[in-house]
């Protein structure tokens, strides 16, 4: 039997409706959407329909949508496409300390290339303060990038207010909305100076496709990450994968239709899950005091090493650590540390994220598995070989950071 899946913030299962929409384009329909014949036109029309579905979800124009391989590419395109452009004045970039690694790494690369970088820390509740961003703005600021929902804590950021602040100061604003799409309302049409990144596999779509939403007047000033056949107006060359694009579109359509229903259901699931943990004398501490989306929680279990807990319950339950996993070694979460949480507490934190397919039976079994794992760890004391601050290697897969 497979473990119960409680890591929806990392990736969501493919919705059956999405799989059905993609199926014809994975077998009998295979035309290149950039070819000048009927088979190619059919694929191009399917892509245009998918862009219409995304635009309906985000209240943007289909022309604003740049299809990418995912949010990582979209985020890199936003930052580098703006900062490296000779058409956009300014060599100063502002990001927050709690951004996904792809934003922080791209920003660091730009800083190494001679651009000025300001990193804004969050308040203790996990939210970025508008006043801190305002104070950091300069005459040569080209772009501010603040995520819409944090991938680890679930904290909702004031992106609408930040976008308006930047617009008033003549600065472009970018938001990584990978964890926000389908969870909070995002009206792109009221944010004319804004760029927005998203990923299909966070909204029950396929892995391998995402998008950068950018108004055409901004796109025309940006530079591409790479060059090729000039597809998508030259801003993102390469053949568009029709099947993946169709999946993104159908997932976006479902997200628009089900957002309120999903949020109501997940709020109920979250409340019941925390209650079940308390009934089992496993009282967690929530790592964020600001408003969070209902599907993501960063929880601390006092005296329980997070890495050991993940390993202890892994046969029954798939959860993530509240710390970054880099090259197989465990380090305290940079997000929690940026919030002022001590590394000892960060190392006792796990991320638990629910989804559309999580059932009430699932949370009952998950609470039982967590409670049993926590008791086992507390009973036997600290386990040698799983000491996160020691730098010891753990029997975990190597790789990057799941968003």
Residue matched to tokens 């055409």 = 216
Dig out the tokens for 388 from the structure: 């996160």
Pairwise CA distance, residues 228 & 261, whole Å: 42
To the nearest 10°, report the CA torsion of 182, 183, 188, 194: -120
Whether 60 sits among the annotated catalytic residues: the reply is no
Are residues 349 and 166 in contact, defined by beta-carbon separation less than 8 angstroms?
Answer: no
The vertex-133 CA angle with 222 and 340, nearest 5°, equals: 120
Residue matched to tokens 């699931």 = 269
| Closest CA relative to residue 124, chosen from 273, 269, 289 | 289
CA dihedral for 28, 33, 35, 41, sign (positive or negative): positive
The vertex-49 CA angle with 47 and 52, nearest 5°, equals: 115
Q: How many Å is the Cα radius of gyration of the chain?
A: 21
**Catalytic one among 60, 102, 245, 325?**
325
Are residues 221 and 21 in contact, defined by beta-carbon separation less than 8 angstroms?
Answer: no
Are residues 194 and 173 in contact, defined by beta-carbon separation less than 8 angstroms?
Answer: yes
CB within 8 Å of 153: residues ≥ 6 apart: 98, 126, 287, 288, 292, 296, 298, 335, 336, 339
Pairwise CA distance, residues 358 & 296, whole Å: 13
Pairwise CA distance, residues 383 & 188, whole Å: 49
Dig out the tokens for 91 from the structure: 């060599």
Q: Is 16 exposed, middle or buried (0-12, 13-18, 19+ CB in 10 A)?
A: exposed
Are residues 194 and 145 in contact, defined by beta-carbon separation less than 8 angstroms?
Answer: no
| Closest CA relative to residue 79, chosen from 195, 179, 229 | 195
Whole-Å CA distances, 201 to 71, 94, 116, 149, 253? 10, 27, 33, 16, 14
Active site residues: 325
């Amino acid at each position: 039997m497979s473990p119960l899946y409680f890591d929806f913030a990392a990736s969501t299962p493919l919705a059956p409706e999405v799989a059905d929409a993609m199926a014809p384009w994975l077998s009998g329909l295979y035309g290149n959407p950039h070819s000048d014949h009927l088979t190619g036109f059919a694929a191009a029309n399917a892509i245009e329909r998918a862009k219409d579905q995304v635009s309906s979800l985000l209240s943007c124009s289909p022309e604003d949508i740049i299809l990418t391989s995912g949010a990582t590419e979209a985020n890199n395109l936003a930052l580098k496409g703006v900062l490296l452009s000779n058409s956009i004045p300014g060599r100063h970039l502002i990001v927050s300390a709690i951004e996904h690694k792809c934003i922080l790494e791209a920003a660091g690369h730009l800083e190494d290339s001679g651009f000025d970088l300001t990193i804004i820390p969050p308040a203790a509740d996990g939210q970025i303060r508008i006043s801190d961003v305002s104070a950091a703005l300069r005459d040569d600021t080209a772009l501010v990038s603040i995520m819409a929902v944090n991938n680890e804590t679930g904290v909702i950021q004031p992106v609408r207010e930040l976008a308006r602040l930047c617009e008033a100061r003549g600065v472009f604003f970018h938001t990584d909305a990978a964890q926000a799409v389908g969870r909070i309302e995002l009206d792109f049409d009221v944010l004319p100076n804004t760029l927005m990144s998203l990923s299909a596999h966070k909204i029950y779509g396929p892995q391998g496709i995402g998008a950068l939403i950018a108004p055409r007047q901004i796109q025309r000033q940006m530079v591409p990450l790479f060059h090729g056949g000039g597809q998508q107006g030259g801003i993102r060359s390469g053949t568009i994968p029709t099947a993946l694009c169709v999946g993104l579109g159908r997932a976006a359509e479902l997200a628009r239709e089900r957002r309120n229903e999903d949020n109501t259901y997940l709020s109920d699931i979250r409340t019941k899950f925390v209650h079940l943990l308390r009934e089992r004398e496993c009282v967690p501490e929530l790592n964020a005091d600001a408003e969070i989306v209902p599907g993501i929680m960063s929880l601390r279990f006092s005296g329980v090493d997070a890495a050991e807990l993940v390993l202890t319950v892994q046969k029954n339950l798939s959860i993530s650590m509240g710390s970054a996993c880099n090259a197989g070694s465990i380090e305290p979460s940079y997000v929690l540390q940026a919030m002022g949480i001590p590394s000892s507490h960060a190392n006792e934190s796990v991320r638990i994220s629910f989804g559309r397919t999580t059932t009430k039976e699932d949370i009952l079994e998950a609470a039982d598995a967590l409670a049993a794992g926590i008791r086992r760890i507390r009973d036997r004391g600290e386990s040698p070989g799983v000491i996160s601050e020691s730098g010891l290697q753990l029997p975990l897969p190597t790789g990057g950071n799941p968003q």
